[in-house]
Structure 1
Amino acid sequence: MFPNGRDTQVARSKIEKLYNGCAVRENWMPLKGAGGGSLTGYDPTTKRWTQTWIGSAPGPVYFTGGPVSGGMILTGEWKGSGPKGEDGLTRMSYSRQPDGAVRQHGEFSADHGLTWQTSFDLIYRPHKE
């Protein structure tokens, strides 16, 4: 995993399909600091995708969302995730890149989604052994 526009790796993720293709699990392992993980799946009752993220800080979060043209957007209320430790919404947009990589663009809103600011912008590339 690399910051968008840079070649310096900041983390590795193990991403795997589970439960007959009905869920995706990610184990996120930063090169420095503590990691975390998520379980993402489709909820047929709400017709939405859900993701539960558990990490060392600032705490767990539950995202919901779904496909959009060319990718997926998941949004959730994440306590303490703002630039100054404030509570707010986090929106993650996933999009496939022309080279096959996946971009994960994270944004934070302290005003219930009226305005957004970038909190992270990462590129997932397949690991080369």
Structure 2
Amino acid sequence: MLANPLSDTDDHWLSFEGTSVVRPLLDRRANVVELKVAGPDGRIEGLNLRLYEPQANRWSLTFINIRDGLPTPAVYGGFRDGVGEFTGDDHLGDRPIKVRFRITRQGTDKVKFEQAYSADGGLTWETNWIAVDRRIDSAG
């Protein structure tokens, strides 16, 4: 995780390790992700609620940080050619920004997640979160 995104002064990355547990809901039209990660710079615990909107043929992703219990504005999108891309509007402090979230499969049991911010309406993007999840066999 980039310590100070969109700051132009610090490119220090923070490291975390932990788990993401995905639970399907409502016949897979929704799911919830339980995230628990920790590292030398602290811990992050949160939920990501993912809902499918059949009328719009898109997904919404809403993250909730358990530290404050508040949802972030949703990002919206879907999957094409094996890559999920979701975008939306948010704020970084008092500054309005765009958010982009990408999901890329890297084999049968590995997925890469990237989040990026844009302060110029989506012309340029700064990646600030990279996570690689590996499936663990829950039966073993």
Residue 48 of structure 2, aligned match among 16, 33, 38: 38
Q: Is the 8 A contact 1:66 1:72 kept in 2?
A: yes
Residue 72 of structure 2, aligned match among 56, 60, 71: 60
1:35-77 CA-to-partner distances (Å, cap 9, x unmatched) read 1111112101222111121113696221100112112111122
Q: Is the 8 A contact 1:74 1:93 kept in 2?
A: yes
**What is the SS of the residue equivalent to 2:74?**
strand
**What is the SS of the residue equivalent to 1:65?**
strand
TM-score, normalised to structure 2, is 0.74
1:76-124 CA-to-partner distances (Å, cap 9, x unmatched) read 222227xxx7431111110110252000011110111011111111101
**What is the SS of the residue equivalent to 2:28?**
coil
CA RMSD of aligned residues (A): 2.3
Alignment match, 1:96: 105
The 2-side partners of 1:42 and 1:109 are apart by 25
Structure 2 runs not aligned, ≥5 long: 1-14
Length, aligned pairs only: 119
Amino acid at match of 2:64: I
Alignment match, 1:87: 96
The 2-side partners of 1:99 and 1:20 are apart by 22
Amino acid at match of 1:60: T
Q: Is the 8 A contact 1:91 1:106 kept in 2?
A: yes
- CA distance change for structure 1 residues 40 and 59 in 2, over 3 Å: closer, same or farther? closer
Identity across the alignment (%): 24
Alignment match, 1:21: 28
The 2-side partners of 1:116 and 1:13 are apart by 25
The 1-side partners of 2:17 and 2:71 are apart by 20
Q: Once superposed, which parts of structure 1, at least 4 consecutive aligned residues long, lie more than 6 Å away?
A: none
Larger radius of gyration: 2
**What is the SS of the residue equivalent to 2:92?**
coil
Q: State whether structure 2 residue 84 is matched by structure 1 residue 51.
A: no
Q: Is the 8 A contact 1:54 1:61 kept in 2?
A: no
Structure 1 runs not aligned, ≥5 long: 1-7
